[in-house]
């Protein structure tokens, strides 16, 4: 009797287990292989490349600015900032005003063969080149009339940088130059690219011309 009772109990518990298994399977369902994986909350989110929104400032995401990216060239403002960092007294407007004056003085003095005026405005190397060019002029050329400028000289900084304690700035000049015998100014500007340098380790505040080139 006891054995029969134990057997009946086992059958009852087995039936209950089978019933619960079917109920659990009905609730959870079967895996078909097409279920989407649930994201792991501890996984890092995927990196999505930023794309600027065309919505504008109203509701759009602001543009992302990456500073000091070594893979990108420095902008002109960043280059000038480095010059100002090395020389806090540097002022762009003051420099351009001085560069315009130096440009007109150098062009006129070179045309007239005035080495005394050129000496403090040029680097030693460039002074030597200018001096050789002047000395190679025909002796019968006589006194050369200085170049006249028709209208104002336009100047803008196009490049800048630091080399150790030496600052370099390149300026683009646009001018209309009248030579001896000209009765009317030329129809187009003459474009010159001049590079100036200053040794910031000295107390000399003056810049010197170190290179000249024809621009466009």
Instruction: Provide the CB-side half-sphere exposure for 208 (13 A, CA).
Output: 17
DSSP 3-state assignment of 51?
A: coil
**CATH class held by domain 76-214:** alpha beta
Q: What is the pLDDT of residues 136-184, one digit of tens each?
A: 988 765 556 678 899 999 999 999 999 999 999 999 999 999 887 888 8
DSSP state of 158: E
Tens place of pLDDT per residue across the chain (216 aa): 555 656 666 666 666 666 666 665 554 455 555 545 554 443 434 544 434 444 333 344 444 444 556 667 889 999 999 999 999 999 999 999 999 999 999 999 999 899 999 999 999 999 999 999 999 988 765 556 678 899 999 999 999 999 999 999 999 999 999 887 888 888 899 999 999 999 999 988 999 999 999 877
Q: How far apart are CA 95 and CA 150, in angstroms?
A: 22
Whether pTM > 0.75 for this model: the answer is no
Integer Cα distance of 114 and 122 in angstroms: 13
How confident is the model at residue 166, as a pLDDT?
Answer: 96
Are the C-beta atoms of residues 197 and 166 closer than 8 Å to each other? yes
Residue ranges covered by each domain of the chain: 76-214
Q: What is the pLDDT of residue 116?
A: 95
Residue 5 vs residues 1, 15, 17, 40: alpha-carbon distances, Å: 6, 15, 19, 50
Q: Exposed, middle or buried, 191 (CB in 10 Å: 0-12/13-18/19+)?
A: middle
Q: What is the rounded radius of gyration, in angstroms, for the C-alpha atoms of the chain?
A: 40
- Which letter does DSSP use for residue 141 in this model? G
Quote the pLDDT of residue 58: 35
pLDDT score recorded for residue 215 = 76
Collect all residues with Cβ–Cβ distance below 8 Å to 196 and sequence separation of at least 6.
99, 102, 168, 169, 170, 171, 207, 208, 209, 210
Q: Is residue 122 within 8 Å of residue 209, measured between CB atoms?
A: yes
Q: Tell me what pLDDT residue 180 has.
A: 77
Q: How far apart are the first and last CA of the chain?
A: 116
Distance CA 101, CA 105 (A): 6
Give the span between the Cα atoms of 127 and 115, in whole angstroms: 8
């Amino acid at each position: 009797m006891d054995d029969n009772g134990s057997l009946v109990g086992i059958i009852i518990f087995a039936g209950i287990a089978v019933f619960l298994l079917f109920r659990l399977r009905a609730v959870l369902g079967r895996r078909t292989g097409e279920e989407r994986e649930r994201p792991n909350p501890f996984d890092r989110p995927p990196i999505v490349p930023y794309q600027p929104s065309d919505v504008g400032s109203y509701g759009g995401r602001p543009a992302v600015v990456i500073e000091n990216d070594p893979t990108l060239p420095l902008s002109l403002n960043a280059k000038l900032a480095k010059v100002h960092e090395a020389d806090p007294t540097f002022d762009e407007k003051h420099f351009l005003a001085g560069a315009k004056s130096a440009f007109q003085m150098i062009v006129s003095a070179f045309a007239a063969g005035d080495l005394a005026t050129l000496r403090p405005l040029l680097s030693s190397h460039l002074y030597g080149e200018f001096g050789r060019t002047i000395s190679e002029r025909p002796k019968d050329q006589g006194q050369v009339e200085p170049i006249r400028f028709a209208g104002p000289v336009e100047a803008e900084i196009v490049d800048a940088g630091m080399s150790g304690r030496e600052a370099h700035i390149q300026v683009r000049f646009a001018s209309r130059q009248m030579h001896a015998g000209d009765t009317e100014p030329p129809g187009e500007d003459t474009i010159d690219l001049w590079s100036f340098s200053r040794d910031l380790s000295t107390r000399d505040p003056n810049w010197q011309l170190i290179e000249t080139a024809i621009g466009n």
